Amino acid sequence: MKVIFKPPSSVAFSVFGYDIKFYGIMLFLGMVFGIFTTYVISKKYYKNVNLDVLIDFLPFLIIFSIIGARIYYVLLSYSYYVRFPQEIFAVWHGGISIHGAILGGLITGIIYFKYIKKIPLLPYADVVSYGLAIGQAIGRWGNFFNQEAFGLPCNFPWKLYIEPVYRPAELAQYAYFHPAFLYESIWDIFVFMILFFVVRKWAKNRPGIIFFSYLPLYSIGRIFIENIRTDSVLNVQNVPIALIVSILTIFISIFALIFITFKNKKPAN
């Protein structure tokens, strides 16, 4: 059985002459389902999370995560945006980075919880991690409609058709590629399941365990997927920067997990 993914037009519909892109719709759906997931899990399983505080924080998180994701991507693709500065704000054309989103969200969380609310950040970082994994799984489909973030050429039973205009010049003779967006979407769902069904039970009364488990789990998948992608925005000695950041994230998270575990050797029942 063969499964061929073939993106339709990137435009879903038009309103008063303005095109509404599938990319934006998928990002919106990712945020909606991510927020819903975070809220439901917080309400049912995390009594140390104040729902009113969480709800007040989420709009700031969304705004500054998007800003962080775009700034990060633009900085890594500076050679392009120096030539086409008008594209810097054209988010609907694609070009946001999950690493930038996480960094932007983390900085926002530190400022909001440590300096404004003066309450611990980690319980909220934990619950947001669940929603982040779900949001990524849905949002990655925006890459499908934009015909971006695809992998190397392949002829597997499952494959992604890319129109000639979107193919890298050196791969223009190929029509079918690895659906890297799909691999990451599936991996994000897998990460959520590990966090919810496995790590959550072990992490009881250890704030930060979920967040610092999400980071390396996502990074492991990203390392494998990055090796087949064709659109790395910046390479350092031929190594994609996303690969370097993912490896550093794993090491930092391992140290954080060890510290949290030893700090809370005997969680309360």
Residue 109 sits at the vertex; the CA angle it makes with 207 and 218, to the nearest 5 degrees, is: 65
Tell me what pLDDT residue 49 has: 97
Q: What is the largest CA-CA distance in the chain?
A: 61
Structure tokens at 221: 């998948």
| Total residues belonging to the chain | 269
For 15-62, the pLDDT digits (tens) are 988 999 999 999 999 999 999 999 999 999 999 999 999 999 999 999
Confidence of residue 264 (pLDDT cuts 50, 70, 90): confident
Q: Is the pLDDT assigned to residue 269 strictly greater than 60? A: no
Output the 3-class SS for the chain: CCEEECCCCCEEEEECCEEEEHHHHHHHHHHHHHHHHHHHHHHHHCCCCCHHHHHHHHHHHHHHHHHHHHHHHHHHCHHHHHHCHHHCCCHHHCCCCHHHHHHHHHHHHHHHHHHHHCCCCHHHHHHHHHHHHHHHHHHCHHHHHHCCCCECECCCCEEEECCHHHCCHHHCCCCEECCHHHHHHHHHHHHHHHHHHHHHHHCCCCCCHHHHHHHHHHHHHHHHHHCCECCCCCEECCEEHHHHHHHHHHHHHHHHHHHHHHHCCCCCC
For 104-159, the pLDDT digits (tens) are 999 999 999 999 999 999 999 999 999 999 999 999 999 999 999 999 999 999 99
Average pLDDT, integer, range 171-200 = 97
Tally the C-alpha atoms within 13 A of residue 260's C-alpha that lie toward its C-beta.
20
Confidence of residue 266 (pLDDT cuts 50, 70, 90): low
Confidence of residue 268 (pLDDT cuts 50, 70, 90): very low
Structure tokens at 111: 């400022």
For 190-246, the pLDDT digits (tens) are 999 999 999 999 888 899 999 999 999 999 999 999 999 987 766 666 788 889 999
Tell me what pLDDT residue 122 has: 97
Burial class (CB in 10 A: 0-12, 13-18, 19+), 186: middle
Tell me what pLDDT residue 234 has: 63
| Parallel/antiparallel/unpaired status of strands 158-161 and 176-177 | antiparallel
Average pLDDT, integer, range 233-261 = 88
Tell me what pLDDT residue 233 has: 65
For 72-102, the pLDDT digits (tens) are 999 988 888 999 998 988 887 777 899 999 9
Q: Is the pLDDT assigned to residue 267 strictly greater than 50? A: no
Tell me what pLDDT residue 93 has: 73
Confidence of residue 1 (pLDDT cuts 50, 70, 90): confident
Structure tokens at 159: 């494959």
